[in-house]
Amino acid sequence: MNWTDERVEKLKKLWSEGLSASQIAAQLGGVSRNAVIGKVHRLNLPGRAKAGGTPASARPKRPAQATPRPSNFTARPANAPRPVSRPVGNAIAKDEIDTDFDAQAENLPVVISGKNVVVPMSRKLELTQLTERTCKWPIGDPLNDDFHFCGCESPDNSPYCTYHQRLAYQPSAERRRAR
């Protein structure tokens, strides 16, 4: 996985937005957080100590602020039917999500504070579009027309992206809570 202009631009954008290196790595896919940090330094992106060398521990911490919900965001009432799809907006904090609100089914990217796992935007791939390196986590009802797979980039030797990899190996009760 090489640093194409496109990927570098995304890196710059996410870094400037204050995402951590591991979060950015998850969003980009195919790279480690070390790779991201290394690239950031090679690009001389800001965020490091000033001349004089402020220790990392003494630097002001970036507030882990939740990205605002999309303006068209409305929580689905508990018993309301699940919409087929909704436009993808900014990432929202998992903590903000109503208990019954299933962000994964809604195809929103989710930043889970604490667990520090990023759900990349689903690429909504069909079965025939999957490859060795795409996430094979199924989304939706297989009998429904909108059934698809996550399709995000998955690490080597894993059928799932970093987020769904975690979900896949959690006990079902935890999995339900995590979703």
Positions touching DNA (CB under 7 A) are 1-3, 20-23, 31-35, 37-42, 47-49, 53, 55-58, 61, 115-116
- Residue 2 or 72 with smaller CB distance to DNA: 2
Structure-token match 């000033």, residue found: 50
State the amino acid at position 58 in one-letter form. Answer: A
- Residue 39 or 136 with smaller CB distance to DNA: 39
- Residue 36 or 105 with smaller CB distance to DNA: 36
Q: What is the DSSP letter of 118?
A: E
In angstroms, give the least distance from the CB of 68 to DNA. Answer: 21
Q: How many Cβ atoms from other residues are within 10 Å of residue 122's Cβ?
A: 23
Query: Is the distance from CB of 111 to CB of 92 less than 8 angstroms?
Result: yes
- Residue 59 or 177 with smaller CB distance to DNA: 59
- Which string of DSSP letters, residue by residue, matches 48-77? SPPTT---GGGSPPPP-PPPPPPTT--PPP
In angstroms, give the least distance from the CB of 147 to DNA. Answer: 30
In angstroms, give the least distance from the CB of 39 to DNA. Answer: 5
Record the tokens describing residue 26, joined without a space: 């998850």
In angstroms, give the least distance from the CB of 97 to DNA. Answer: 20
CA angle 30, 134, 24 (to 5 degrees): 35
